[in-house]
Amino acid sequence: MTNKVALIGAGAMGGAIGTRLAETGNRLVVFDLDAEKVQALVDKGAIAAPSAAEAAAQSDCVILSLNSPGIVRRAVFGETGVAEGARPGTLIIDMSSIDPEATRQLAADAAARGLRWVDSPLSGGAPKALIGQLTLMAGGTEQDVADARAVLQHVASNFTHMGPVGAGQTTKLINQVLCGLNFLAVAEATQLALDAGVDAAKIPQALKGGRADSAVLQEYMPRFVAKDYRRTGRIDNMVKDLNGAQDLARRTNTAMPLTATCAEVHRMLTAAGLGGEDQAALMEYFRGPKRENFE
């Protein structure tokens, strides 16, 4: 069966999701304010829509890949938004990373208009999306999540129903705490290895399979050593997610001292103008006065 999918948001992550959906036989209709990003997907077989409403009108399911609760709300409920064009019963799958409380309100507002909602944030980034190996954590009813799984089967290798609406976003915040701390720990360890005269490029292989091993260690320590700052994510997006985790921790009265430190480092780098850079640029924090000019 061919899925009729609308994609709202064709940035780095949305573009990768859209590419994979188009390549695996889905009928993809895409809308983004950036015409070049839309064209990149049209070149891969997608259909361009002049608005989110028109994209939704042509589809049975709408995927959102956006950057904040406010943008999601405007895309769905604003003028020419998804809700204006979507038929009753249309499934909205929000793959953005946003606040769980905001998600629950968005889902309630969608339900009032006869629309279904699943929050399905992701881990793995654009590289994993392109090869269909994203990790997805979903919140919603059993039926809605089952329908979302059928749509997303070609982009994910790990799909878990975490509970009601909002549970996916809560799980994503926990994921980001673990990722943020891991990125920072690996960057710190890389700098120690460099200062101590150890060939840091050999460390991932040396520790492979041990308790210190991780996907971040294997991918990022070589990049830290080589100053490979090609963009697969953004430091300021991590700030957004760590802020969300700290907001949740305040509501639950959970102590998170390591997350607080990690968030401050990311905020410092963002304030220094590196917010748009990949996590690999965390090395700039440790180089201090010894660092070369950032290029």
Which residue numbers are catalytic? 172
- Secondary structure letter of residue 201 according to DSSP: G
Say whether 223 sits in a helix, a strand or coil.
Answer: helix
Separation CA 238–CA 224 (nearest Å): 17
Separation CA 164–CA 100 (nearest Å): 11
Separation CA 54–CA 85 (nearest Å): 6
Provide the residue type at 128 as one letter: K
Which position has the token pair 């089952």? 146
Bridge partners of 28, per DSSP, are 5
Structure tokens that stand for 42 in this block: 């049209």
Structure tokens that stand for 182 in this block: 């891991």
Separation CA 144–CA 56 (nearest Å): 17
Maximum alpha-carbon separation in the chain: 63
In SS3 terms, 109-129 reads as: HHHHCCCEEEECCEECHHHHH
Q: How far is CA 236 from CA 86, 203, 239, in A?
A: 32, 28, 5
Separation CA 285–CA 268 (nearest Å): 8
Which position has the token pair 């300021």? 236
